[in-house]
Each structure stands twice: as structure tokens, then as C-alpha cells.
Amino acid sequence: MAMLVLFLPSILHELMLQRCTAHGQGLTTASIKSTVRLKSNFFPPGHLKCLGYLGIWQNKIDISTGNSLTPAEKIFSGTLPNNSSARPEGPHIYRVNGTYYLLIAEVRLFEYPLGGTDINHRATIQRGPSPSGPWETNPSNPILYNGADLSNSVQNTGHADIVQGADGQWWGVALGRETFLFPVTWDAGWPVFNNGHPLTEHLPSVLHDVSPLAQYDNSFTSTELDASFYFVRTPYKPFHSLTARRGFLRIYANAYAPGDRDSAALVLRKQTSYTETFETSLDAFVPRDNLTEAGVSVYYGDLLHNEIGVSGAEGDGEGRFVIVRTIFQAEQVGPWALTTANCTVVTVKRYKLATPNAPVRFKVVAEPTSYKLGYAEGDNEEFTFPATIDSAALSLAPAGGFFFKGASFGIYNTGNGRPSLIPADFKYWKQTPGSNGSIFEQ
């Protein structure tokens, strides 16, 4: 149940169908059934071409063995200036009406915003008389680019693929880190993506998910976590149990904390709506000191996450405290920095709890531009919200970091650098999406 990150979306007849859904799942299959057969335009007659890395490279292969038959040859350097910052990648070749088309993703590194699969990411297309070119560049390139307007809800677009359906209609798919579908038309021998407009979250009357996002409730009565939960990286050993204490999800701590580049004892589930609440209850957690900590994380990546949890007193103090840890990247509110080391702002606040072992409930209220972190001691107290964070802290990757998974809610248990033998028992998991503002349907 390690994290699955979907990218480079493709639809290929008789090879693979990869599909992204609103619930972050992928699908591969050996065939496409009955009437939904898709014609591949990849293969030139009698040959299969293998495309490579650092520029667009090509060589013939023996399709029965996979062995190369010719040396690799660079066939295209991209449309951007050919220097160390250029990243032409992800090539696709199509043969349409006797003409070959080379569709690639491009970006320039070391620019602001940072390159890679980021705001500057785009798709360009070329055409030529053979699978090796020479290539004529589309005068309308980039054929796909959403970064010109940062108010577009779909960003980081690139790595496109096109296919012709059984009815003759052309379609494209591309990443915006989620996978997006769009219509493709043809003008003067060139494909036109989405009628020349930026990609949008939803196409009216096309593959509309008519099922509204439902509330998710889990009281942990089963013996296994369902498939909607995931971990960051592969755990060294199991750190959770649904049978150690029936009716609770028990998390055993390890030395790693959320944000460590390792496998923290952290169980995550995707945020499904811009407007959503997440709630859970941590039962009778009694930390031994200020390094023992368990609670809730709003998690986007190693450098972008925020926690509210229960920890012990610092130094020789006594009692339990709610700890609120918020992390912000300085370039999200100020000048861009070239490294992550000098721009991470961490704020930690502590709030004394009144009881030695009462349950502590946690609530995260997500809105389109903010998150509120709250807690309540006991089963009947009202929630207090000591922290409100800007959504930028969970959506804008810092310089040198790329995070493509989307925001998640999580529960964790950590020794903050050392082992801890104190388990954390969580009684339930509740996610309630708002009536509007859905990430996947608006």
C-alpha cells in the first residue's frame, strides 16, 4: 500500500489503458473491451521505435527481443533554447494520414517558477515525413500550456497523449498532476487541443462523475485498512494494527516524523474537496516527554505539511500539551530562494491540556484558501482552533522540491528522532466534503 503517483498518461490500443479517476486510482489492462477499441497511431509499418532521454533520442529495436538494432540518434532538441536548462522529454510519435507527429513535454529549469513538472511545463508538437524527421515545428506551439494565467485551477500541464476513438473523434489526455481529458480537433494538418483554450477541471457532458462526493466514515471495526489509505514510502515493518485493540486503529511509533525523508508512522487519505472537514479522536494518549507525539497531519510532501497533536511537557515540566506545528516556505510570500534550507519557516506552539489522559479530538476545516487546525479535550467539549494556515502552504512546492500527490489528511505517532513504545489509538476517521468546491467536480 505504498503511495501511487500517476503521471505520463497514455491510452494505447492493445498495449495498456491507464486511467486516473477522482479517487486517485489507476488501471492497467491487457485489452480494451468491445466497442471502446482505440486505434493506435504510434507504430510505423514494420518497425517499432524506442525513444530516449536528454533530448529526444531514437533507435530501432527488435520487438521480439528488445535488443537495439541501431545506435541511438538524437532526432530533436525541443523548441526552447537548447542549453542546460532545457528539458525536452516524454516523446510520443503518431502516424496520421501518412504524416508523422512528434509530441513532447518541455520545460526550462532554473527559472521562476522553478521548472520540471511545474508551472512552466508545456506540450509541443512537430511533424515530419518519417519517424526520424526532419521536424517542422507547429507555429502555434506550445500546443498545451496553462501557466500563462496562474488563476487557472489546472496547472503544471504537460506529457500529453492523443488517440482517435471508434467514432472518429480525437481526444487527448495530459497531466496537471491529475489526469485531464480534452477534445482534439485538426486545423491545417495540426492538432488543436481543447479548441485552443487552457485545460479546465471539467468538460460539460463528458465523462461527468454523477456520483456526489460522499462522507467517509470509518470506525475501524474491520481487520484491514481499505484501499483509500496509503503510506509515505514503504514501511520497514508494519506500524499499524486494527486487531491490537478492536475498534481502534493503533499506530506504533518509530523514530521518524512527518516530513522526514523516510517512512514515518503516518497513515494518509486524500483530501477530496476544496471544502472539507476531517475529524478523528486520539484515545488516552499519555506521552512520556516532549518528543513523544501523536496526532493529525495535513500533508502535501516532505517540506509541506502541518500538524496538530498531543505531546508531553518540555524539560522538567509535567502534563500533556497540544502541539501545533505549521510550516511555510518563505518564497510563497516573499522573494524566491534557490534552496530550501534558508526559506523554511517553522512555527511551534503548545497549549496545556487539563486532564492527564482524556481523549483528544482533532478537526481540520479545509476551505479553498485556508486550513484551520482544531482540538477538543474529552468527548463533549467544543473545538478550539489555534491555527489557520494559508492553502499556499500545502500547494506550492518550494524551490528544489516537487510534490505531485495532492493534499492528504493523516494520523501519526512519532518519537521525533528516537524510538517510542507508546502506541496511539485512534477511534474513528471522518471526512465530510462540502456541498460545493469539490476538487473533482465543480
**Across the beta sheet with 122-128, what order do the strands follow?**
89-96, 99-106, 122-128, 136-137
How many domains is the chain partitioned into structurally? 2
pLDDT in tens, 292-301: 999 999 999 8
CA distance 357 to 334: 42
CA distance 208 to 210: 6
CA distance 281 to 248: 10
Per-residue CA distances from 74 to 51, 58, 92, 133, 237 (Å): 9, 6, 15, 11, 45
Predicted pLDDT of residue 404: 64
Please tell me whether residues 162 and 233 are part of one structural domain: no
Does 368 sit behind a cis peptide bond, omega within 30 degrees of 0 on the bond before it?
no
Predicted pLDDT of residue 303: 81
pLDDT in tens, 373-432: 999 999 889 999 999 998 888 876 666 566 667 899 999 999 999 999 999 999 999 999
Please tell me whether residues 338 and 392 are part of one structural domain: yes
Q: Which residues of the chain carry a pLDDT beneath 70?
A: 1-54, 84-85, 109-117, 177, 205-211, 329-343, 396-404, 435-442
> Is residue 438 in some structural domain?
no
Predicted pLDDT of residue 68: 94
CATH of the domain at 40: 2.115.10.20
The residue from 196, 227, 255 where one domain ends is 196
Residue with cell 491529475: 178
The residue from 130, 163, 196 where one domain ends is 196
Please tell me whether residues 186 and 220 are part of one structural domain: no
- Where in the sequence is the domain holding 22, given as residue range(s)? 11-196
- Pairing mode of beta strands 360-367, 344-352: unpaired
Does 88 sit behind a cis peptide bond, omega within 30 degrees of 0 on the bond before it?
no
Predicted pLDDT of residue 101: 98
Please tell me whether residues 154 and 80 are part of one structural domain: yes
Sequence-distant (≥ 6) Cβ neighbours of residue 291 within 8 angstroms: 311, 312, 415, 416, 417, 418, 420
Q: Exposed, middle or buried, 369 (CB in 10 Å: 0-12/13-18/19+)? A: exposed
CATH of the domain at 427: 2.60.120.200
Give the chain's mean pLDDT: 82
Predicted pLDDT of residue 439: 44
Please tell me whether residues 185 and 220 are part of one structural domain: no
Please tell me whether residues 389 and 272 are part of one structural domain: yes
> Is residue 428 in some structural domain?
yes
* Torsion angle (degrees, nearest 10) of CA 352, 356, 358, 362: 30
Please tell me whether residues 124 and 249 are part of one structural domain: no
The residue from 149, 167, 196 where one domain ends is 196
Residue among 139, 192, 148 nearest 170 (CA): 192
Predicted pLDDT of residue 34: 47
